[in-house]
Structure 1
Amino acid sequence: MYGLSQLKMNQHFLTILEKCINLSHLKQLQSFIISQGHSHTQFYIFKLVRFCTLKIFNFYYARLLFDHLPSPNIYLYTAMITAYASNPNHHTSAFVLYRHMLRKGKPAPNNFIFPHVLKSAPEVLESNGTKLVHIQILKSGFGQYPVVQTALVDSYSRTGSCIGIARDVFDEMSDRNLVSWTAMVSGYMRVGDVGKAVSLFEQMPNRDIPSWNAVIAGCTQNGFFSEAISVLRKMVMVGTGEGNRPNQVTVVCSLSACGNTGMFQLGKSIHGYVYRNGIDNDCFIANALIDMYGKCGSLDTARRVFEMSSKKNLTSWNSIINCFALHGQSENAISLFEEMINCGFEDIRPDAVTFISLLNACTHGGLVEKGRAYFELMTSSYNIEPRIDHYGCLIDLFGRAGKFEEAMEVINCMKMKPDEVVWGSLLNGCKIYGRLDLAEFAVKKLIEIDPNNGRKKLREQSAYKTPGCSWIEVDGKVHQFYSVDKMHPRTDEIYGILESMVAFS
């Protein structure tokens, strides 16, 4: 009879919990279970903690519920640590709570808690954190559990110096699944070893969407844009039969690669795929499309995508402002900024990225006073602390306008030490206006920062710097050109046409 009564109580509790939508509702339910003598019943507290962390994201109240129990069980510890580990701002809390559990001596950890602790460990103690948890795993007898081994691979690979240990753990696994393979591939990508990542990916017995995405995203983030596109094409060719169709992550990373290589036609094709598959309402994809079209020079299309987006966020505004700023359309960029700050949405306020684009727009348009005013607006109205990038933009603005006294005043008043971008911006202005005195001073500062700086090599060894590179897409194929380049198979024809153009200009 008692068991039936308890079952009804549990069902009644869960029914009410499903209808809760805020903390006030939860407190009413909590009061009810206290009145029924269940203030320390772990099943109910576990459900309340999960509601706090997963539905209303109130970590503070979840911890109050947790701390109210005299002896939380392993499921409650796992729930609380999982919640902390899922939020980058609470990684330290996850690790500290795990350490507290160990020091108490009960409950004993299980295989489900370790992956979440390992997610936080590198953020708190770098490689030492992972090593400490690894020792505890071995002592507890969970070293051969695939889910724990996979978490170890991922945790070690988050510290560049431990990628070798991550590979050792991976090689020792007797049961490697898709998740463990993908974790190791992602680890190599994270430390920039694209070659090993791609090689390991090609050895995978099976692939799923996350594994394809790990390679495409990794190549894109490491600047291997052509390789990212190549992997995308393989995914499209073999993916349909395996159910590995590109998803939102694939699309966003691929659009980034298209934008950075100028592959306009491929970018348009991906845009078509987005519409055909009904995933165009994703704000991340809309922002990626804006960025891609902008970098490919199709500003009208970028603006059209922006206007059609029903879920504009700050990134959307930053992307479209940056598009016009990069292409020298300063007035359009400024007009968009003014529209953004007057749009009336409280959650859309300019951030540090917005002002970098805005200052670049002023630089390209020679709008010195507007640039100065926006720099002051950033600090006075939006309480944004200027970063080195903002100072670099401001100095570039003054330098291009020949206002070297103002540029030096900014450098002398900076709250951080000027870097090579700052001195490089000043040097660029000096080159335009022939200020040899300041140019020598800027070069000296550059060499102090980096003795192997390319400018020093130019002066002392007459060496060439890495040449500038550009791309053009013709008939679906991207042609790559470097400054003073004669490697293209149609070089003679290209230079012949250029010479005829110069002759008739």
Structure 2
Amino acid sequence: MKSLKQAIRHHSHIIKNGILPSVFFNNQLIEIYCKNGLLFQARHLFDRMPERNVFTWNAIIAGYVKNNGLTEARSLFDTAREKDPVTYNSMISGYVGGGHECQALELFAEMHGNGTHIDEFTLTSMLNLAARMSVVGYGKQIHAYMMKTNNDSDCFGVSSLIDMYSKCGCFLDAFRVFSEPGERDLVSKNAMAAARCRQGELDLALNVFWKDMDSNDTVSWNTLISGCAQNGRGEMALELFTLMAKNGVRKNEHTFASVLSACSSLKALKHGKEIHACVLKNGLTLEFVHKWWLSGCLLEFRMKEKGVPDALILINVLSACAIQSALNHGKEIHTYILRSWVEIEEKLGSALVDMYAKCGEIKYSEETFKRITGKDRVLYNAMMGGFAHHGRVNETIRIFKDMLYNCIRPDAITFIALLSACRHAGLVEEGEKYFDSMIKNHGISPEIDHYSCIIDLLGRAGQLDKALLMIERMEVKPDAIIWGTFLNACKMNRNVELAREAEEKLLRMEEDNGARYVQLANTYAAKGEWSEMGRIRRKMREMEVKKHPGCSWVYVENKMKIFVSNDRLHPEAEATYRMLEALNAEMKCGEHCSTMAGLMNL
């Protein structure tokens, strides 16, 4: 079995036919499930195995280690009846990678004490530990042990020794290891180039790099580009990046991170923007793009800070802060604006209002809005959007009325904010009134976003027939957003018949979108239609589509904390879920108290 699909098919066949699988087969399944992040399924299988061997324990422990589940991995390690060097190596490498130095040292001592064979993987992990701790004396003891056991000539052993000595500042020892007789592979060569870069000897690093250039890989190029950027040789970093592209070497996130760092040090915003476009073209992670966009905008701002940056730069920076919810950076820019007596006109004011609203500070957003004289439509829309986003429907309507009172003509964005506010509050009559007013009184043709809001509003109110009639009468062709909104309404109202109609439309439009299959399966599950849910799941597997887990982030003490849906392996997962349970309990209590208060007033 090589693929997850094959593994699931074989596993299902065995369960269906009541076959007792071999230990070897189960070990393979556990390994494949762990490789694909399916720890729950792997553990479920492991717990039900009537017979296990050392490979079984190694597979499940390594799975937890690779998925950052060190606590559970250690619990399994302690209860394992059979252990071999692989068992110890998995735990030690996990502890070293996770920064748990003491536990790694304790396990290594235990391994040595009970006579378990110490191989090159163990030694490599311990050298990495010495490098992390910058304890060269400990690293030298490991080196001596390697020489004694004839493990010092292994390719990975040599590269680990070079890495350890250079990170401990012993560059002469690193060079001595590299210069010893014997063949040096690409890994050792890259390690030596990195050591020279750490030493600040870029010319010597380049000598290592240019020697046998045809063997260089992405890591080789990244090492030199990063070394040049970190040692104030930004021009050289850009030249190497250009040469890397000409030679057709594959670039990755580390490449772009290093070259963007060079652009920052050179204050070469134009080059940075070009590379930013290249990042987008290569389809790198959104988080990476947003991080650089924010830093790039701040760079542009700082370049002109000695003078007075024009409003466009300030607006770009504030927009970047809004996207990343970077409240502290946003406040710094606002402080600069006030300190420099920069005029806060409508567009700049709108950027400030939007930034504070998207960073969760609706109070600051409102205060900024009130202080600006000569408000225009963009500013009103920003404030209405902020209130709508925070579920403040009365304030949204108040701002809209103030907008009309001041003879400012609303546009399509104005009504998206209004309808969104009505949707959050469940105000069906008001929502329909504003929707009709938009068309009849203001001559604005509804767009997909307007229809999506009104359909969601009707769906939440249980008026599915009315929502379906609205879809049929739409002036624009309904897209996947509209049918997805309608499907959510079907799920809330547990209407399977209408859900089937939405299914047909949705899968015709987005048959390769895994999120739609999950949405459909959940809709049928809400009604208890398990056979229908199973049908959708099977179809999803047949189409080989996957749903990417939802992701969100928050800034805490200037650090970005990223959370993924159903993530149980996050280092702070336990505390996060405990807090969520407490908040849910508090909300239920508040709901109960409100209900009791209402009954007492009857």
Q: Where on the TM-score scale, by shorter chain, does this alignment land: which range? A: 0.5 to 0.7
The answer to whether 1:248 aligns with 2:218 is: no
Q: Is the 8 A contact 2:162 2:178 kept in 1?
A: no
Q: Structure 1 181/320 Cα, relative in aligned 2: closer, same or farther at 3 Å?
A: closer
- Rg (Cα) greater in structure: 2
Displacement after TM superposition at 1:95 (Å): 2.2
> Which structure 1 segments of 5+ residues have no match?
1-16, 151-176, 420-505
Counterparts of 1:397 and 1:248, CA distance in 2: 49
Q: Aligned AA for 1:59?
A: L
How far apart, CA to CA, are the structure 2 residues paired with 1:262 and 1:127? Answer: 28
Q: In the alignment, which residue of structure 2 is the partner of 1:85?
A: 65
Shift, 1:91, TM fit:
1.9
- C-alpha deviation, 1:326, in angstroms: 0.6
- With the length of structure 1 as denominator, give the TM-score of the two structures: 0.54
Shift of 1:339: 4.2
CA contact under 8 A between 1:293 and 1:302: conserved in structure 2? Answer: no
Q: Say if 1:187 and 1:335 are closer, same or farther in 2 by CA, change over 3 A.
A: closer
SS in 2 for 1:242: coil
Change (3 A) 1:401 1:328: farther
Indicate the residue corresponding to 1:503 in structure 2.
none
Matched, 1:327 2:266: yes
Is 2:82 the counterpart of 1:109? Answer: yes
Question: Of 22, 28, 31, which residue of structure 1 is paired with 2:9?
Answer: 28
In 2, Cα distance between equivalents of 1:398 and 1:330: 24
In 1, Cα distance between equivalents of 2:40 and 2:244: 38
- Counting only pairs closer than 5 Å after superposition, residues 7-156 of structure 1 correspond to structure 2 as 17=1, 20-23=2-5, 25-34=6-15, 37-54=18-35, 56-70=36-50, 72-87=52-67, 89-98=68-77, 102=79, 108-112=81-85, 113-120=87-94, 143-147=113-117, 150=118
Contact 1:333-1:358 at 8 Å conserved across structures: yes
Q: Which amino acid aligns with 1:242?
A: G
**For residues 303 and 131 of structure 1, what CA distance do their matches in structure 2 show?**
40
Q: Matched residue of 1:312: which SS?
A: coil
Which of 222, 226, 241 aligns to 1:287? It is 222
In structure 2, distance between residues paired with 1:130 and 1:299: 37
1:490-501 map, 5 Å: none
Q: Percent same amino acid at aligned positions?
A: 13
Q: Quick one: distance in 2 between partners of 1:75 and 1:327?
A: 53
TM-fit CA distance, 1:287 = 1.9
Distance 1:77 1:180, change over 3 A: closer
Q: Is the 8 A contact 1:355 1:374 kept in 2?
A: no
Q: Cα 1:68–1:358, aligned 2, differ >3 Å: closer, same or farther?
A: same
Partner of 1:188: 130
Q: Does 1:212 align with 2:158?
A: yes
Would the aligned equivalents of 1:49 and 1:80 in 2 still touch at CA under 8 Å?
A: yes
Deviation, structure 1 residue 80: 0.8
Provide the C-alpha distance between the structure 2 equivalents of 1:127 and 1:259, rounded to a whole number of angstroms. 26
Q: Distance in 2 between matches of 1:212 and 1:235?
A: 7
> Does the residue aligned with 1:335 lie in a helix, a strand or coil?
helix
2:139 corresponds in structure 1 to: 197
Aligned-residue offset at 1:334: 2.9
Q: CA deviation at 1:319?
A: 1.6
Contact conserved, 2:238 with 2:259, CA < 8 A, in 1?
no
- 1-structure distance, mates of 2:131, 2:99: 22
Distance 2:188 2:255 in 1: 17
Tell me the alpha carbon deviations over residues 171-228 of structure 1, each in whole angstroms, 9 at most, x when there is no partner: xxxxxx6666555544332212235535764785352333332343234445x3xx43
Which residue does 1:490 correspond to in 2? Answer: none
- Rounded to whole Å, the distance in 2 between the matches of 1:236 and 1:84 is 35
Unmatched segments (≥5 aa) in structure 2: 345-355, 365-553, 560-602
For 2:301 and 2:273, how far apart are their aligned partners in 1?
12
Letter aligned with residue 248 of structure 1: V
- What amino acid is aligned across from residue 267 of structure 2 in structure 1? G
Deviations 1:333-373 (A, max 9, x none): 233224433x2626465257535752563256327567645
The DSSP-based 3-state class of the residue aligned with 2:69 is helix
Structure ranking higher on relative contact order (CA contacts 8 Å, 6+ apart): 1
Q: Decide whether the 8 Å contact of 2:158 with 2:178 is kept in 1.
A: no
Q: Tell me how many residue pairs correspond in the alignment.
A: 340
Deviation at 1:400, TM superposition (A): 13
Corresponding residue for residue 460 of structure 1: none
Q: Is the 8 A contact 2:163 2:195 kept in 1?
A: no
Question: What RMSD, in angstroms, separates the aligned Cα atoms of the two structures?
Answer: 4.6
- Structure 1: how far apart are the matches of 2:140 and 2:336? 44
SS of structure 1 residue aligned to 2:163:
helix
> TM-score if structure 2 supplies the norm length?
0.46
- Specify whether residues 371 and 319 from structure 1 end up closer, same or farther in structure 2 by C-alpha distance, changes over 3 A only: farther
Contact 1:94/1:120 (<8 A) preserved: no
* 1:257, distance to aligned residue in structure 2 (A): 4.2
| Distance change (3 Å), C-alpha of 1:179 and 1:40 | closer
- C-alpha distance in structure 1 between counterparts of 2:144 and 2:58, whole Å: 36
- The answer on whether the counterparts of 2:64 and 2:73 sit within 8 Å (CA) in structure 1 is yes
Give 2:84's aligned amino acid: N
* One-letter amino acid matched to 2:236: S
Shift of 1:291: 2.1
* Cα displacement (A) at 1:327: 1.6
Equivalent-residue separation in structure 2 for 1:260 and 1:124 (angstroms):
23
Amino acid at match of 2:251: K
Alignment of 1:105-504 (within 5 A): 108-112=81-85, 113-120=87-94, 143-147=113-117, 150=118, 184-194=126-136, 197-198=139-140, 201=143, 205=147, 206=150, 207-208=152-153, 209-221=155-167, 224=169, 227-228=170-171, 230-238=172-180, 241-243=181-183, 245-248=184-187, 250-251=189-190, 253-260=191-198, 262-273=200-211, 275-276=213-214, 278=215, 280=216, 282-294=217-229, 295-296=232-233, 297-308=235-246, 309-341=248-280, 343=281, 345=283, 347=285, 350=288, 354-355=292-293, 357-359=295-297, 361-362=299-300, 365-366=303-304, 368=309, 372-373=314-315, 375-381=317-323, 384=324, 386=326, 403=340
